């Protein structure tokens, strides 16, 4: 089985490489996925049996808010070009990566796969979320052709080595790690300030855990078309608690929210999901504890700074 991975040198692609180094790993250096003809040539060149589609224009809360149109257009193009070329070339198995941030806001319950299209996403994720939702619809339509299995997984917040640690465009854990690192270098006793109230709660999944799940789904021929990939809801953590875990890695004693009475920079307050289907399919799966995963990520960050993505 010949497996090709887009976004192969990113967070999840690098984690998969730890377990399956002989697969084909493409990065942006291999070609621009926004260009339909480039994608055609890449897939013809490598002729894979399976594609794991991880490539995307991604960022954290502030990038999603500031660049909504860019996030929509770029991801729409990338996903269309990849899926349509795969379909036309007879590649029958594709695993695509969505995100729990694309779920509707305001449903006020623990979310499952069937809730994906039941309302608009949070305004902060609007452009990115709709591009990803459209990819899920595309996959369903391609699957109407017998023998095609275009599958979408919905991971919760992913973190780990090889992440993007940009101070403004990153997701919450790599952003906090980079900021805490810089704070610790100042050698002062002032508190570590985080943007927002710290009240929102999130579930997190270590990149190596998601890599093992993807490999298991592929190699055990599990074709579930839409699957939440998340730690259980009992492991949900507030941003403030998360920041304290990160701060502890840098011996920072005090963490303080900068907006104790405002949630304008908080994003969606709660978007809890429960991985019922996943735990039925892989009942004995052991997730990495958040503290352990953050420790491993911080260790990697320190060892590879300043050559990390930032």
pLDDT in tens, 233-243: 888 999 999 99
Is residue 128 annotated as a catalytic residue, yes or no? Answer: yes
Predicted local distance difference test score (pLDDT) of residue 261 = 44
Distance CA 258, CA 256 (A): 6
Predicted local distance difference test score (pLDDT) of residue 265 = 54
Distance CA 310, CA 308 (A): 6
- pLDDT value at 5 more than 70: yes
Distance CA 84, CA 36 (A): 9
Q: Provide, rounded to the nearest whole percent, the portion of the chain with pLDDT above 70.
A: 93
Distance CA 207, CA 14 (A): 9
The pTM for the full model equals: 0.92
Q: Residue 115: exposed, middle, or buried by beta-carbon count in 10 A (0-12, 13-18, 19+)?
A: middle
- pLDDT value at 263 more than 60: no
Find the catalytic residue in 128, 148, 150, 159.
128
Mean pLDDT value across the chain: 91
* Topology classification of domain 3-161+204-233+273-290: Rossmann fold (3.40.50)
Domain boundaries, the chain: 3-161+204-233+273-290
Mean pLDDT across 95-111: 90
- pLDDT value at 275 more than 70: yes
């Amino acid at each position: 089985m010949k497996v090709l991975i887009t976004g192969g040198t990113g967070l999840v692609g690098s984690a998969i490489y730890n377990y399956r180094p002989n697969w084909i790993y493409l990065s942006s250096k291999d070609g621009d996925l926004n260009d339909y003809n480039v994608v055609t040539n890449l897939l013809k060149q490598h002729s894979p049996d399976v594609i794991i589609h991880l490539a995307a224009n991604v960022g954290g809360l502030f990038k999603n808010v500031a660049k909504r149109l860019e996030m929509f257009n770029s991801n729409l193009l990338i996903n269309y070009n990849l899926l349509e070329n795969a379909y036309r070339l007879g590649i029958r198995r594709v695993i695509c990566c969505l995100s729990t941030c694309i779920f509707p806001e305001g449903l006020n319950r623990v979310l499952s796969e069937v809730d994906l299209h039941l309302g608009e996403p949070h305004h902060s994720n609007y452009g990115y979320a709709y591009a990803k939702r459209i990819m899920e619809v595309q996959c369903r339509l391609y699957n109407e052709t017998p023998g095609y299995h275009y599958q979408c997984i919905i991971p919760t917040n992913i973190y780990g080595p090889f992440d993007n640690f940009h101070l403004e465009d990153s997701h919450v854990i790599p952003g906090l790690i980079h900021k805490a690192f810089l704070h610790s270098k100042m050698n002062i006793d002032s508190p570590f300030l985080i943007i927002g109230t710290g009240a929102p709660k999130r579930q997190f999944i270590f990149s190596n855990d998601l890599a093992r799940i993807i490999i298991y789904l592929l190699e055990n021929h599990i074709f579930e078309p839409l699957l939440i990939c998340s730690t259980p809801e009992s492991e949900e953590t507030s941003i403030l608690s998360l920041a304290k875990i990160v701060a502890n890695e840098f011996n920072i004693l005090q963490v303080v929210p900068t907006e104790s009475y405002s949630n304008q920079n908080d994003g969606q307050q709660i978007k809890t999901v429960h991985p019922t289907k996943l735990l039925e399919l892989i009942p004995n799966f052991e997730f990495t504890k958040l503290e352990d995963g953050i420790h491993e990520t911080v260790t990697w960050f320190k060892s590879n700074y300043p050559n990390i993505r930032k």
